[in-house]
Structures are given as structure tokens and as C-alpha cells.
Structure 1
Amino acid sequence: MATPFLVSAFGFFILNFSPEKHVFAQPNENWDDSPNWNLAVEKIKELENLVKIQDERISVLEKRPTMSELRSNVELQETIQRQNDRIVKLETRISELEVMVTDQKAEAIHIEPSEEVPDFGLNIITPKRNFIRKERLLLQPTTVPVESVAFFAYFSTHNDASSRHQILAFDKVITNIGNAYHPHSGSFLASRSGVYVFIWTIRLDGNNYHTTELLHDNNVINSIYLNPNNAIGGTATGTAVVHVNQGEDVLIRTGNLSNGRIVSDTDGRSSFAGWLLM
């Protein structure tokens, strides 16, 4: 890669040291001591160093993983997860088949007809019966080892949410199995794909009114509306059952009709909860 730069440098040297501008060196003149010659040599060395640096940068860039390689790694991880789920299901099925095979292995205990016991001088007659005893293996209920995901959080104090499409970050976390709920942002980020149940409750009083929405991957799934209208305060609760893929988020935000504060205290909490159903 340095060759084009050396050729350019040599051309530069020829153009700048033409007969029109400079006097030819005498045969006995020492070129090593010529300022122009030394300057040209220095320029060539600088160009060589520049080419070397560029070659090193290009080499580093070529070693970086491409987007296709990164996508391949993600697809490989997803394939491994699916295979692990299938292995768990197969192990459960094998356990069920083992129980069925054990049930079918019945041992028949056959007691022989009457035998005489001469030692006591008595004839002890044993009834002629055939006893069949069936063995059944008693097992504890089989539990499929799955990664549990569940959370519950609420507002630790009243929340001013007068603006439209404001994300409600329920800051007081009571349960967070799997660490999928993030109280600072108010979003639930699915750590695994599956069907989830989500429930949220909003408490209002006075002339405050709100529409709140449950968003899944930036799509509105369900919404609720409450307006006490300066009468008795109350609560509204929304529920949604959603299939969420790994890495997708679920959150609660205000809707188009929003005014005033959302109430949350010991008399009634505004909260958000969810868990993995299957």
C-alpha cells in the first residue's frame, strides 16, 4: 500500500527540483550535504510513516466484527435458549414415561396350596388363593425448572403527572424476581419470551382526571380512565395478558386526557405489577 505514496513523493521531488528552478549538481558535488536533497528524503520518510500508520488503522478496522457476525451471535444465543427449553420438556416427558413403565410392572405373588407341618403334628391348611399386588410409584409433582419472573411496585408518594404521554415510574419496589423491572425508568424489560400478565391501579381525587395506558413495545395494549369530578375519590385498575418477546419493554404512561396528580399513600396505592404466566 505504500508504493503509490512513494511514487507520488518521487514525482513531487522531480517537479520541485527541475532545471527551471534549480541548478544541476556538479559531478564532484556531495548530494548528501544538499539541503534540497535532505528535505526530499525527510518528506519521503514522513510519507512512509504516514502510510505505515494508515496500514495499521486499516488492519485494526478489518479485525472488528461485522454487523452480520453480531447478528449471527444473537441468533445462536436464541437457538441455544430454544434447545434448552426443549431439553426441559423432554426430561419431563421421560419422567412421566418412567412412571407409566413402573405402573405396568406388577408383581404377582403366588402362594402355594396347603402344606403340612409335621413338626407340630398338625395340618395347617392355607387357602388356595392367588394374590396379585400392584406396585405404584408415588412421586412428588414434577416441577419444570423455568426462570421465574414477577414484579410489584407502587408510588411512594403522590405523583404530579399533568403532561400527556408521561411515563409513570413506580419507584417503591416490593417484588422484583428476575430483576426485569427498572424503577428509575418505570419500564419492564422481558428477560425471556413468554405470556405475561400485567395489572396497574391508579388512584385519583378532587378535580384530577387521567387516562393511563399500558404500552408493549411502543404499542398501546389497554387503557383506563378515571375522573372523580370533585366527588368521592377512587381507583381504576387495568389488566392485560400479552405475549412479550425477550428484550421488549412494557410500561405505563398517561394518555391524552391527563390533569393533576396521581394519589398514592397508606390509604390507597397507585401500583404496577406483572408476572410470567407461561
Structure 2
Amino acid sequence: MFIKIHGIIILYSTFLGIYADISFQQHRYEERLNQVETVLVKQANEIDDLKTVVLTQKNEITKLKMTLSKVQRLQGIHDKSISVLRRLIRKSKINVDSIPEEDTLLRNDNQDKKFESFSEIITGEVSINRASRLLNVPTSAQDIRTVAFYALMSHNELNPGPHHTIAFDLVKTNIRDSYNHFTGAFTTPIHGVYGFIYALRMPCNTYGTFEIMKNDEVEGTIHVNVQHGCSGQFSTGSIVVVLNIGDAVYVRTHSTVTPTGLILSGIHGGPYFAGWLISSL
């Protein structure tokens, strides 16, 4: 009887030891799982921070591209201004050299009036409009009274996020090269009144909101709503706006509303963006 009791005690002690060891191992596993979970949460937060940084950098790159486009356009206008001034100088020089020698009264009268020298005309701030009035030559504004562009999207835009500039890459018309199909922005070549029209298409059971911008200002908004089927895949917007030289106009996704699907382009139609000069000012 004593032997049996002793054996039971030993067996029970062994069981308690095994149970204690299992409990200790389980406790260690739980600690490790908690550590792993903490690391995963930290990595997820770091990934979210990186996504925010990437989105910010993408927006900054888009703004830099638009700024570069403005600079290039202003450089082109500056070059045309120089060309007009050179024609002014050449024509003025020819007119002066062709005055007869015997016309001394006219020469004396010109000297008395103290006209500006050619060097002063070159170095002075002579406007294009002034040159046009003096010589009756076309100004740069008159040279580019026809300003227009029309561009399509040739492919689907997959999962665009908020605040995303849309590049309509297939250019059909681009008079004066004012539209940049890389940045998706139209840069104003002359001061005037412009009209713009744009359309977006999305697939069935999706929706998205899109804005047309003048620099950093929202000029118009459209909403594509195909949440409950396939009807209404297209939405179109149009604006009439006064623009100064160097102003940028472009289409983007809404700054806070993320589209729930891709921007669709296919054989049944696709997004487009067009603009034209109505009247110079």
C-alpha cells in the first residue's frame, strides 16, 4: 500500500513538473508573439510614412515639371520679343541710311528732336506693342492668335490616387505647342480668354471625382458615378477662364477623394482634354 502511494506521489510530481514546463514554454511563446506583433505594427507604420513621403515627392515633381514648362514657354516668348526688336533695329537703320544727303533741313530737325540712338533702343526696355506701333509689324500676340490643343488618353490609368495629375498622352492638335503631354499641363502663351473641355471615363461599379485646375486653384469639378452598374461611365466638364502668360491648366483627381477604380480608355471611348483661345486681351 505504501509503495502504491509513493508511486502515485512520484507520478503526480512528474505531471506537475511537465505541466509547469509546458506553461513556461507557452509563456515564452506568447512573449515572442507579442514581440513579433510589435515589430510588424512598427513596420506597417513605417511603410505608411514612406507612402506619404513618396506621394508628397510625386506632387512636388509634378509642380516642378509645370514650373519648367512655364519657364520654357516664357523663354520662347522672350526669344520672339528679341526677334521683333532686331527687325525694328534693321528697318530703322535702313530708313535712316536712305535719307538723301541734300536733305539737310530734315537731318537738322532730327538732331534737334534728339531721337534715341540705336544702342539705347537695344539696351532699353522696348515693348513688343511699341515696336508694332512704330513699324507696323505683327506683334507676337498677333502671330499666335490661334492657340488650341486636343489630347486623348491612349491607355488605362491604373489605380490613380488623390491629387494625381492626369496626362493625356495622345496629342491630336497642339498649335503653338502649348500643351505638354508628359506633364498633362497647358501653359498659356498669351494673355486672353480661353475655353477648356475635358471628359473622364471609369468602368462599371466604380466612381471618381476630378478637378480642372488653374495653377493651384480649382476651376471646375466633375464626378463619374458608376457604382450601381455600367450606366454613366462618362462625365464631361467645361470652363471659360481668363489666363495670364505662364498660367498652367491641367486635370487631376480630387485632392481628398480617391477613385475606386481605374480611368478607362478603350475602343468604346476614352478620356480627353482640349482647350483653345477665345480672344486675346
TM-score by length of 2: 0.49
Between structures 1 and 2, the one with greater helix share: 2
TM-score by length of 1: 0.49
Structure whose CA Rg is larger: 1
Higher relative contact order (CA 8 A, sep 6+): 2
